[in-house]
Amino acid sequence: MFAALCAAGRRAGARRGFVAAAAVAVAGLALSACTSPSAPVRATSGSATPSSRTVTPTLVAAAAVLPFDVPAKFVVHGGKLVTVTVTGHLHHTPLPGQVGADQASWVSTSLPVPGATYDVAATVTDTAGAAHPMRLTLRIAAVPRSQQLLYGVTPLDGWTVGVNAPVVIRFLRPVQDRATVEGALIVTSTTPVTGSWHWINSSEVHFRPMDPWPAHSMVDVAVNLAGVRAGAGLWGTSDQNIAFTVGDAHVTTVDGVKDTFTVTDNGKVWAVWPTSLGRPQFATRSGSYVVLAKLPTVRMTSCNASITCDKSNVNFYDLTVDWDVRLTWSGTFIHSAPWSVKAQGVDNVSHGCINLSPARAQSYFTFARYGDLVTVSGTSRTSADLVAGGDPGMDDWNVPWATYTAASAGGGQITTGSLTG
């Protein structure tokens, strides 16, 4: 598969989209007493020696380890908060928040990053009005593994892809709040394009442009899921940034009537080869495919293809096949077929795959990349069943654009942001 499982860990303190840290100034109000929680964490004061008439203020976190699923909070005893900044310890990402009306507490206005540590810098006035610079450390609990939303992204960072490449995110647990998760997925490109997210099911979401990506453009996908609540008891724990390059425009056209396999590279014919498709009872589906994966060898059996497991059946096969370019997850490949060379260009004799001679299959294997378009026409079978069944290899380019955007949880089509540099 073209996906790498994202590590469950989270760079402590990092969160995209936070506003810049700002000192919070508040007007003097009457002091309110606060009850100290169990197992408090107390702050250190940077100055001031208490007199018999004043009380040295202290900052106290609500607990030694704060929960990740509610706003972070701390209080002050013996003083009033004047200014507060809270930043991630490792990456200095701010955690925005507000001082209470009584100047005795501070509460974040967004959820903290699970597993993060935050540094608090505050100015506090004591009962005599003297200012004290004070510091406090807030430690946030990590999300239990049973509640973590783990995921993988295709393409991987640094890849060069075809112009029809979808961005695919697969989750290891079903997403309940699709709109919130989709809102945390940001696509930018050097050439802004109209595109849409499209949920295949609750565990897989794709993004593709309305028209093919411009060749030689660059795309960045920001997956900002750390701290995002994806449903009851389900939380994102990590962010990823995936940057990929769109390569040359590779388009392959397969004619099931003429049994030809025509490849173009940036609009110029690269190859025209004879081919053999599926025989009538196993007809290759007409439709638009994209290259999903390349495998040097694959063991293919009629039993795994749900054709027959009976060795005496004429349709039984058990073969090790070379130069395999995957087009669907249900089992359609372009591959080497030395046994059908005489039929290639003449007749359709396969069990549904697209056959090439060994030398041509190897050449195409080297040429092809993830996201290249392959269009098949002239066969007796459509792609409707695979689209209806949610086969990820068929859903992206075989449905009308209005149908594609309707499967977005975020309101339909968007325009990608502009990527510079």
d(CA 124, CA 122): 6
Count of CB atoms situated within 10 Å of the CB of 29: 12
Among 6, 77, 335, 351, the active-site one is 335
Residue with tokens 């502009």: 418
Tokens (6 digits) for 138: 């807030």
Active-site annotation holds for 6 = no
Q: Strands of 91-248 (E only): list them.
A: 97-99, 105-108, 117-125, 131-139, 148-149, 151-154, 160-161, 167-171, 185-189, 194-201, 204-209, 218-224, 229-231, 234-236, 239-246
Q: Report CA-CA distances (Å) from 315 to 204, 307, 331, 348, 355.
A: 34, 7, 16, 15, 17
Tokens (6 digits) for 50: 């208490």
d(CA 357, CA 363): 10
Q: Strands of 23-159 (E only): list them.
A: 41-42, 44-45, 58-61, 73-77, 80-88, 97-99, 105-108, 117-125, 131-139, 148-149, 151-154
Which one-letter amino acid corresponds to residue 302? S
Active-site annotation holds for 309 = no
Q: Please say whether the dihedral angle defined by the alpha carbons of residues 260, 305, 199 and 235, taken in this order, is positive or negative.
A: negative
Angle, alpha carbons 292-295-298 (nearest 5°) = 115
d(CA 86, CA 20): 10
Among 6, 77, 132, 353, the active-site one is 353
Q: How many helices (H) and strands (E) does the chain have?
A: 4, 32
The SS3 of residue 59 is strand
d(CA 97, CA 24): 9
Residue of 14, 3, 4 lying closest to 236 (CA atoms): 14
Q: Is 109 exposed, middle or buried (0-12, 13-18, 19+ CB in 10 A)?
A: exposed
Contact criterion met (CB below 8 Å) for 82 and 124: yes
Point out the residues that are catalytic.
335, 353
